[in-house]
Structure 1
Amino acid sequence: MNNTRAQLYLLKQYGFSDSILEYIFESNYQPIDVIFGNDSFINLQVEQHYTKKDNELAKDYHLFELFARNVKNKNDFLDDENVKLYFKYDKNAIDKLLPRDKQPLFFYAKGNVDLIEQDFKRVSIIGTRKPNEDFIKKGRKAIKNYVNKGFVTVSGLAEGIDTLTHEVTLELTGKTIAVLPTNFIEIYPKKNIKLVQDISEKGLLLSAMGPYEHAYKSGFLERNTYVAAMCDELLVVQTNLKSGTMNTLRKASALGKKIYYLDQLNDEINGKIIEYNGEEME
């Protein structure tokens, strides 16, 4: 408990926000002492940065202490030799994937970390959760072309095009990265539990959520940011005008990524993708 990073990890798992924990770390405070201690001056300084949830969590040290003991007694997650924990303030592979201001305090990896620690070309392949058969066929062909060119495919494990991307890559013995909106235990969608197991053994799982954190809608939007940021190229297989795919596309465009798309057979959708500097893939 004298280890600052261990304290930050526990507090994050308990539910404290990245923003307050980063403020505490950058201020060189001891995290647990400053949140649950009795120094009124320091408490006042820190409380100004609390979210509403942070303020509620800071009211009862004994509940936190019980939680910390439970984590200590159930440490299977961090004992897993296939799990690697990245800390935002260390120099590590995440710096090459995500701008510092987009990085979570902790980032979790399970599987072949060479896929992010070595210089592979990566393509993020995204699309609707409900693709039609024509786009499934076209998407499968595009995925195969990327795998044959040695790209690591990246997607978000959602139903539809994301799942297709991971499955086809594995079928071709290619390399794939799944960026989860949840932790490695509470898989969503549940139908992809077996796929997650396969990816952890043959590819790489990434998540900004630890084993005791719960998924929120914001986690899905953050997942989109990571998918957009960690690629060299992004391919849109099939999308609607208002969708998570468009959210990811906007973020990739803002980051200056090379964007390709399959003809959506809809001038309005094609036009919108072109606005984000998309180029049609032949």
Structure 2
Amino acid sequence: MHKCRALLYADVSVELADELLEKWGGVPRFVLENALVSEQQKKLESAIISVDLDAVVKCIGNPEGSDQVVHRLVHIHVADDFKSKVYCFASNFVAEQIYSQLFLTKRQQLIQFIAVSEGVGETGVLRGTLFERHAHDIIAGGGTFGCRQLFEKTTKVTALNADNKQITIPHLNTLLFADEQQVQASSGMYYRPHVNNYESVDSFIKPNLLFQMTSAKKHPCKQVGLNHVLELLGNPSNPTLYFVVPKDRFKEFKFQSYEDANGNTMKTPSYTNVKKIKQYVLEIDLTS
């Protein structure tokens, strides 16, 4: 992008191009061509304010016949093998803003949309993204949550009869950080990276609580990402990873395998700090 900017849009600063890329996603028309046209830049805000979940769902599978406004919010990402595609929000910024807007104006419709985990089809990624945002708000808001420890060799029958426990989390202000020094210089916060750059960790609470939001049945652990966060936290002696899931996923959610940097399943993590992690599943009741 920056090579194109330097050659054709030198009047657009690097900082502005990066800022617009973070908002719009990879849309050259708005990141470069119309970067300095305020009327064009307002179109994203207008699309977010007028967001309609029914229109978004209608867009899935029928992009040619959908509203152009929706196209600014939802993009099609093609897999590396060019054989499949997924529908994603244009950017993390868009996802955050859409969640906030819907939570304020159409909360019940939002909750109903993200509560569906079975048969999600092509809307699965969008649902998962909105569930993650909602789960962050619930965890940071504090409360007592049902949880269950996950064991590597637990059978399905054992899992269904496992003793459920509870964890009480205090209300915490959220620190959406872009610099790890912000984490090291603060305490008593609910920490979320500004960009999802920690594989297998969506948020954490000092000194030792890690959270991974998922509405899927399986969510393998990336040991590199876990190691990074544990080092950031000073390698706590008893780290705990909570898989935060919708209530209907809770009972059958199983121990998650570990993967190396190449995506290969590992019998056991190679990092000493990751080996210390205890896995739990934590339920979020979307109807309460």
Query: How high is the TM-score relative to the length of structure 1?
Result: 0.30
Higher relative contact order (CA 8 A, sep 6+): 1
Higher helix proportion (structure 1 or 2): 1
Query: How high is the TM-score relative to the length of structure 2?
Result: 0.30
